[in-house]
Amino acid sequence: MDTITCIRTFITVVDEQGISAAARKSGASKTAVSKTIAHLEESLGVRLLHRTTRNISLTEVGRSYYERALPILDQLCELEASVHVAQAVGDLHISAPVTFSELHLMKVISGYNKRYPKVNINLRLTDHFVDIVKEGIDVAIRIAELPDSSLVARKLAPVRIVACASGAYLQEYGTPKTPEELLNHQCIIDTNLRSSFRWRFKRDDEHITVNIDKGIRTNGSRAVHQLLREDCGISLCPTFVVGDDIKSGKLSVILEGYESYELGLYIVYANRKHLSTKTQCFIDAVLTHFEENSDWKM
Amino acid sequence: MDTITCIRTFITVVDEQGISAAARKSGASKTAVSKTIAHLEESLGVRLLHRTTRNISLTEVGRSYYERALPILDQLCELEASVHVAQAVGDLHISAPVTFSELHLMKVISGYNKRYPKVNINLRLTDHFVDIVKEGIDVAIRIAELPDSSLVARKLAPVRIVACASGAYLQEYGTPKTPEELLNHQCIIDTNLRSSFRWRFKRDDEHITVNIDKGIRTNGSRAVHQLLREDCGISLCPTFVVGDDIKSGKLSVILEGYESYELGLYIVYANRKHLSTKTQCFIDAVLTHFEENSDWKM
DNA sequence: AGGACCGTCCTCAAATCAGAAACAATCAAA
DNA sequence: TTTGATTGTTTCTGATTTGAGGACGGTCCT
């Protein structure tokens, strides 16, 4: 016998001042209501209702139980309702970086959409910084060195940015051995990167910065990627873009002894007491997906 | 499937970090635990746990549900425990007036004692005013005009105090028709009454007070009653003492056109948020008994 | 590779539940 | 007073649900 049903039934009986009345109200049979109350009383070992053959009245214990059970039941209902899958409705505003999302996020989005079709996904792709509170963003995917400390941020995967070029290019122009040698090469500059013209490297705790000021400039990682594949030069690229090509040998990582940028992929959301179910579910889908599915880590 | 059991099981699973572990802890079978969790998830329509074949981890929704369900469950347990009949143990201090209790309260006391044998009843009979808070009284029976306003008081029955005498006495000395005529009669004075020597009457909104200063004086209602039966004179008596004799004709009410004292029988207790179960049960027993059983009201 | 362990599925006996009808007690109206 | 309606409980039956044990696919540790 479900305890919550028992309590709820008891409360209905009290409110309706009668077992038959409660039965009519709740749609159950008199029998069921009567038995339910009896069961509740038995499990508590206390009489909650005085019965005459004609009507019922509250026991002292019953009155106290009623008053105290009511708010608890309310809390439980609220919890249940807020968690219930039916709550996964409405709009879900997501902010995410362009190229990364096109390459790796869409699988999560589509899976989420299939599972929670009542959620209107609003995916805003941008590589600019977005104030998620101001913009009304529920959840954001970010690539950054350190996440915004005023928000909840959970790391999904590391993001390495490596210097690379095609085999054909390297064969023609040679492979630089130190960052400084990059100055003598065709460089492709992704102006989306924070410090596009200052290429930073690190070796044995020594920081090396090279100012690249000539070469093709573009603001799209995909464009950079294409140029790399077309043997146009050397560029800094996130592994999640060039990973496949590196694995297949089409592109090669150079300056491997030097550590390049080490960024992180984060999922970020506002620090509220209770996230909505749709948001929680999305966070969960993302977490799960990138636990198993970040093969660009290499 | 009991909702509370479901939630409790879910919490155990989370705490023990595994279904098998939870099963061992709670003594149930793995099957039962697994099905219970599945049932809870289904009823909510949301996955609470991520499962691998090897272990489990919380979903975002699951984590939120866990955190919010925990305090609710605690409240429910506390409520259940405080109401449970097992709580009807320990001492119950009752204060009550002497004669009334001897005549009418003992049936309630004995019934209560049989039903809740683990409660140590401590019945203090006294006709003096008792500060129930200072004296550590759980519940008091009082006869008064108006109950103490700092306490919770519930009226059990009206208490009429009537002037009466035996038929033999009235035959010998005559029946007074007005209060003033009482001065020429043998009066029996109960010194327990608040204003023992000032007998008050009311007729048509006119208050009449007669100062009785001669006659037998005693401090026991039973003694007064005995003297009345022995034809010793006229006295003011509560109907709960002389009711039977009046019904049987042994004693007669005189000055019937005049209203005499109208007091109330009250059950009184401290105004706490939560009375203990034993106290509630006692209050209930008293209320119930005097609803059906105050035939002295007449 | 083998063994221990985990969570789930399957099956079947046992427990539980829902609802109809019968029942005793009470009230309201004729 | 009698009749009929209503109330809460009890009894009975069929239907549903539950839970334990074993089997199964999968994973971790050695």
CB atoms within 10 A of CB B217: 16
**Nearest residue of A to residue B49, measured between CA atoms:** A284
DSSP count for chain A of H helices, then E strands: 10, 13
Cβ contact B37:B14 at 8 Å:
no
When computed from its CA atoms, the radius of gyration of chain A, rounded to whole angstroms, is 31
CB atoms within 10 A of CB A233: 20
What distance in Å separates the CA atoms of residue A74 and residue A270, rounded to the nearest whole number? Answer: 27
- Per DSSP, what are the bridge partners of residue B217? B189
Give the tokens for residue B18.
């595994």
Say whether residue A2 is in contact with chain B using an 8 A CB cutoff. Answer: yes
pLDDT, tens digit (0-9, with 9 covering 90-100), for A133-189: 888 899 999 988 877 777 888 888 888 888 899 988 888 888 888 888 888 888 888
A27: CB within 7 A of chain C nucleic strand: no
In strand D, the nucleotides that come within 7 Å of a protein beta carbon are 6-11, 17-22, 25-28
Distance, Å, B56 CA → D27 C1': 13
- State pTM to two decimals: 0.74
SS3 state at B265 = strand
Give the tokens for residue A200.
């930073």
Give the tokens for residue A235.
């560029």
**Nearest residue of A to residue B4, measured between CA atoms:** A3
Cβ contact A201:A260 at 8 Å:
yes
Cα torsion A266, A270, A272, A276: sign: negative
Give the tokens for residue B121.
């009843």
| Sequential pLDDT tens for chain B (298 residues) | 899 999 999 999 999 999 999 999 888 899 999 999 999 999 988 889 988 877 888 888 899 999 999 999 999 998 988 887 767 788 999 999 988 898 889 989 998 998 888 899 999 998 888 888 888 899 999 988 877 778 888 888 888 888 899 988 888 888 888 888 888 888 888 887 777 788 888 887 788 888 887 788 888 788 889 899 889 889 988 888 888 888 888 898 888 878 777 788 999 998 776 788 889 889 888 888 887 766 665 5
Distance, Å, A11 CA → C30 C1': 37
What distance in Å separates the CA atoms of residue A252 and residue A242, rounded to the nearest whole number? Answer: 9
Give the tokens for residue B31.
């099957």
Say whether residue B81 is in contact with chain A using an 8 A CB cutoff. Answer: no
Instruction: Fill in the amino acid letter for A24.
Output: R
Say whether residue A76 is in contact with chain B using an 8 A CB cutoff. Answer: yes
Cβ contact B123:B101 at 8 Å:
yes
CB atoms within 10 A of CB A194: 9
| A 169-188: CB within 7 Å of strand D | none
Instruction: Fill in the amino acid letter for A237.
Output: C
